Homo-oligomer: A and B are copies of this chain.
């Protein structure tokens, strides 16, 4: 059952990242803590709209909030991003094979080019 739970968490992380505003919020938080007000400002969004995005990020474990009653600053927790990276990296051999095939193709072309240069 553990795999299923982990799978669900991965789905939640991917779903949280499937929005450019939420990714921009993470980018801002990578520079340091910020309050919801501070986050809302550069994005020219209403507080309820930004709060909704932050709640999605919190549920996915990407944002943690301080306990100081009035400000509750938001902070980035990059741990789920490491999981995403690890998940994607398992496909590295597949995408590198693409380049290997391209490289083989270019190597095949080279002698032909030389031969053609000789002909000309």
Contact = CB atoms under 8 A, between A and B. Distances in A.
A11 B7 contact: no
Binding site secondary structure of chain A: helix
A14 B15 contact: yes
Interface of A: 4, 7-8, 10-12, 14-15, 17-20, 23, 26, 30, 76, 78-79, 81-82, 84-85, 87-89, 91-92, 94-95, 98
Chain multiplicity (copies): 2
A36 B64 CA distance: 41
A76 B94 contact: yes
Nearest to A76: B94
A19 to B, nearest CB: 6
The 10 A-B pairs at the shortest CB distance, nearest first, are namely A14-B18, A78-B95, A85-B88, A78-B94, A15-B18, A7-B20, A14-B17, A82-B95, A81-B91, A78-B91
B98 A79 contact: yes
A92 B88 CA distance: 14
A73 to B, nearest CB: 16
